[in-house]
Amino acid sequence: MSIKPIAAPRLYQRIAETIAGLIATGEFGVGDRLPAERDLARKLGVSRASLREALSALELEGCVEIRVGSGVYVRSRRRRSRHAAFRFQTAEVSPFDTLRARRLIEAETAALAARNASAAQIAAIERAFARLADDMRSSRTRSEGDRLFHTRIAEAAGNTALAEIVRQLWAAWHQPLNARLEALFVTMQRRRDNIGEHRRILDAIRARDPAAARAAMRRHLVNAERQRMALLRERG
């Protein structure tokens, strides 16, 4: 018999389950507008950032509807998940936690790649960038070129453990909640910005400039987090 460890739920998961419980017990009825974000965060004793993640997860499950400029509303039972109680997959990782981890780790893999990459590895990063740019211009929601660009940089860093961590972070990046945020988040302007940010990372690696590569990668991931948070703020 295989016994797996019990994973502790993330904060946003606990928040979402608390709100779903209030809906299930009738505290909020179908069609009701939830309290304003600031008030709800204060009553729950949580940050607004964590609350926004929880509300997005609840929207993904069909429990609530987020209406831009209006608020968050309880959806009818027939439009919700077929499960009686709302439960997350315990392995799902917060998209914002993933972004913050990537910022810490990938900034250093970019610096190491600028120092250690071989000519063949730089060529592989260049091919991944070309694919990323094509994905962005063709409006594909999921960019395989984006994943390849970041993993090729990690592989060029010269540390197999770091490369494996980056691959795992990208696996977490493809979980349902982040996929939902990505679908909401991606605009043509952001796609153009994304191409430019990745080009600056590539240019710094080509120039063998670790400090510039680190700064360009950090700036790219900070921008990604800020713009997603701005989107959730607008929708909430």
Which residue would you say has higher pLDDT here, 66 or 129?
A: 129
pLDDT in tens, 121-150: 999 999 999 999 988 887 655 678 899 999
The residue written with tokens 């502790």 in the block is 8
Distance CA 148, CA 153 (A): 8
pLDDT > 90? residue 79: no
φ and ψ at 234, to 5 degrees? -65, -40
Query: Could you write out the DSSP letters of every residue in 147-216?
Result: HHHHHHHHHHTT-HHHHHHHHHHHHHHTSHHHHHHHHHH--HHHHHHHHHHHHHHHHHHHTT-HHHHHHH
> CATH for 95-235?
1.20.120.530
Instruction: Write the pLDDT tens digit of every residue in 206-225.
Output: 999 999 999 999 999 998 88
Is residue 52 predicted with pLDDT exceeding 60? Answer: yes
C-alpha count within 13 angstroms, C-beta hemisphere, residue 182: 17
User: Is 11-79 a CATH 1.10.645.10 domain?
Assistant: no
Sorted by where each begins, the domain ranges of the chain are: 11-79, 95-235
- pLDDT score of 185 more than 50: yes
Please report the pLDDT score of residue 65 as a whole number.
86
User: Residue 83: pLDDT above 50?
Assistant: no
Q: What is the mean pLDDT of the chain?
A: 82
Q: Which is more confidently placed, 48 or 83?
A: 48
Overall average pLDDT of the 74-80 stretch: 66
Q: What is the pLDDT of residue 186?
A: 61
Percent of the chain with pLDDT strictly greater than 70: 78
Per-residue pLDDT at 47 exceeds 90: no
Calculate mean pLDDT across residues 94-105. 87
Mean pLDDT of 184-191: 67
Average pLDDT over residues 8-12: 67
Q: Is 232's pLDDT higher than 70?
A: no
